A and B are shown apart, each in its own frame.
Chain A
Amino acid sequence: MTDAKILSIVTFVYFWAFICYLIHFIFASRRWGLLASWSAWIGFFAHTGALILRWYLSYLLDYGHVPIANFYESLIFFSWTVCGIYLLVEMRIKNRTLGVFSLPLAFLLLAYASFSPSVDSKIQPLIPALQSNWLTSHVFTCFLAYAAFSCAFGLGVMYFFSEKGTFFSRLLPGREIIDELLYQTVTLGFVFLTLGIFTGSVWAHYAWGSYWSWDPKETWSLITWLIYALFLHGRFVRNWRGKRSAYLAIAGFAAVIFTYLGVNYLPGLHTYLK
């Protein structure tokens, strides 16, 4: 069994887990909640196994690199971090509502990677620019940040549905809890994004001859960073909470998506994803 085959099965497992989370959410059923968590964990373990297998296979091909070097690999890795960070949050807060937002994202990313004909799943060797020890730390930190921000986005959307007296509000955790969690996930993402930008900078210093060259991906990662910096400053100094925080979390995630996908349509140095 190849890694790609396992991943296409994991895609369905994530979809199934999403359905379970949804049923758990709507009917407040504990049994479905447990089933949802179990499914997500099983999917996550298989996903991890597939990534390790792919890593191992790249060594058999004599390329030998962490599977984060092309568009396909970035999608499956992003999906992995989304699921992983979600499960971490679920363990911490012992509430499964966010699964309704995070699992479909993990599913969609993986489905796009597995089933889109335009995404090549072949293991490819590393071109000279990517042959660096900074590749792993840079990509790892960036995608952990993206995943944390995706959780914050889900929580931001959730916040708008949690207005008292509505149909959803009875199913959702309290507004303060959502707000606090939103803040915590943004914090986590912000620290990782900062690390991602800095590791990228060090790498660029060695590979491109400049720690910052206003390449569109660099610029957009800075825009994303500024939006979340705004979130944190507003919160600490002006006590922005609730709706304002939720809006910023949503805007921030839009910037994340543009940083990840949108800049591929602009000319620049980060063209490895094509």
Chain B
Amino acid sequence: MKSFRSGLLSVLSSVKLTISLLLILAAMGIIGTVLPQEEPQEVFGLCRLLSALKLYDVFHSVLFYLVMILLTLNLVFCSISRFPQALKRFRGEVEGARFKRKETLTLRLDPDEIRKKIHFLLKRRRYTIFTSPGENELRGQKGLLSYLGAYIVHAGVFVLLVGTLMSSLLSLEGYVNIREGETVDHIETGRNNPISRPLPFQIHLEKFTVEWYENGMPKQYRSDLKILKDGKTAIEAPLTVNHPIVVDGFYIYQASYGEMPTPEARLLIIHGREKIGEITVTEGKAFPLPRDEKVKVSVLRVESDFMRMGPAVKLAIHSDGGEFVFWVFKQIEEIVTSNPGILKEVPMINPHLYPPYTFVLTGLKSALYSGLQVKRDPGAPLVGVGAIIVIFGLIVTYFISPRSLTIRWERKDTGTEIYIKGTAAKDASALNRDLSYLIGELKE
């Protein structure tokens, strides 16, 4: 049992695992972009295998989560197993020297003065000074934080990964299309099976505007919103792309816009050959038939595209002679031309079914809607914090070069002899600069 545990630990903290996981992740990324991430309608043959492996939705597959969890564990175990060594270097107990340089010079100064001067110079170059056992020795080190850089990066990546996990488990995202003057209090979540979810506030769209540049490119999409809480206006602000409105942890985004049919249509009524007039009708309501006011016409349905034959309105006329129910198509002429005799076969689509009246659908009323995306993501702040830690760690790792200077001196007949030993872990040039500075100042 113990060997299994230690075996597992050694696998989890191995760099081989890191390398394999990075490669697998890269491969999944390639699959996720090259293979269309939408399941085909008919699933058979190879597609069936791909579907079983969830390769049509790689980034939400069990395999992907497994790789991410393994990577997180690997990161934690690797970092823990290597951290003590790095900490020793950070504390200056072990030197990680790649570049070394030695210098010797003789000065006509007494040791006390030299000690003071070196102390001063090292401090000025912002070296941390370590007191060494020998009276005639000083050691200064700089940039030691760089040894911990990789661990700071790993800590940042860890925080970031936890944040993304929180996002995928806890975030709530939905869309709502809202017309001018309308107020909504729920959003539709889920891509395939939309579920309506209530919001703790109401969104009211005052006005939606699109601005264009002279060359026809869109300049701005803008929704003037009112956020209502308990019937009172809490926020009143314009919403534009790139500038979401934040309410109670929910971000509201300007996502899209479009035209939405309304339950209203325009009907032209012809009596014999005379056009009586055009009126606006509403689905579910009835209107008195002009010139024969006793007869009521009910508008049963208003459809923007009925049976793929374009906009249509379903009317029911209640008269003494009985009930006449029929559809009025906007494109009735085209329908008749391509299907001669259809009016006799299917009297339901004859707009002339109640003579001498003829009904002509001149158009449906549509209104602009603003498409809003509403999202609450408790993981996002954590991802941000992780990202900042990663950047800080990378800068510390790659742009700070740890170096150390050890200076020893000895009184000789000719004066005081000074031995300088400089080491640097990454960048020899920074060390050389510090060394020349030190020697130059000492000689003065």
Contacts and interface: CB of A to CB of B under 8 A. Distances in A.
Interface of A: 124-125, 127-129, 131-132, 187-188, 190-191, 194-195, 198, 201-202, 205-212, 214, 216, 219-220, 222-223, 226-227, 229-230, 233-234, 236-238, 263, 266
A209 B219 contact: no
B398 interface: yes
7 contacts: A127-B219, A128-B219, A191-B398, A194-B391, A195-B391, A207-B242, A209-B373
B395 A191 contact: yes
Contacts of A233: 15, 18-19, 22
Interface residues of B, number: 46
Contacts of A195: 391
B242 A206 contact: yes
Interface of B: 15, 18-19, 22-23, 25-26, 29-30, 32-34, 37, 59, 150, 164, 173, 213, 215, 217-221, 240-244, 251, 253-255, 373, 375, 377, 380, 383-384, 387, 390-391, 394-395, 398-399
A124 B32 contact: no
Contact of B242 (A132, A188, A212): A132
Given A194-B390, A209-B255, A210-B375, A234 B241 contact: no
A188 B399 CA distance: 9
Contacts of B253: 208-209
Contacts of B19: 230, 233-234
B218 A127 contact: yes
Nearest to B82: A237
A205 B24 CA distance: 27
A85 to B, nearest CB: 15
Contact of B30 (A127, A209, A212, A223): A223
Nearest to A128: B241
The residue among A124, A187, A195, A210 with the most chain B CB atoms within 10 A of its own CB is: A210
B241 A226 contact: no
Given A209-B373, A219-B29, A238 B15 contact: yes
A189 to B, nearest CB: 11
A214 B32 contact: yes
A207 B399 CA distance: 32
B26 to A, nearest CB: 5
A13 B395 CA distance: 35
Contacts of B375: 209-210
A201 B399 CA distance: 24
A128 B244 contact: no
Contacts of B18: 233
Contact of B398 (A187, A211, A234): A187
Contacts of B242: 128-129, 131-132, 206-207
Given A190-B394, A191-B395, A198 B25 contact: no
A129 B241 contact: yes
Contacts of B29: 219-220, 222-223, 226
Can you list the 6 inter-chain pairs with the closest CB atoms, starting with the nearest? A128-B241, A209-B253, A216-B33, A223-B29, A209-B373, A198-B387
B22 A211 contact: no
Contacts of A124: 215, 217
A206 B252 CA distance: 10
A108 to B, nearest CB: 26
Contacts of A210: 173, 375, 377
A127 B219 CA distance: 6
B59 A127 contact: no
A202 B381 CA distance: 11
A198 B385 CA distance: 11
Contacts of B219: 125, 127-128
A220 B32 CA distance: 10
Nearest to B16: A238
Given A206-B242, A209-B244, A209-B251, A263 B33 contact: yes
Nearest to A192: B394
A219 B213 contact: no
Contacts of A202: 384
Nearest to A212: B164
A49 B76 CA distance: 49
A131 B213 CA distance: 14
A234 B16 CA distance: 9
A128 B215 CA distance: 15
A197 to B, nearest CB: 9
Given A207-B241, A222-B29, 14 more contacts: A125-B213, A128-B220, A191-B398, A195-B391, A198-B391, A202-B384, A206-B242, A214-B37, A220-B29, A220-B33, A226-B23, A233-B19, A233-B22, A237-B15
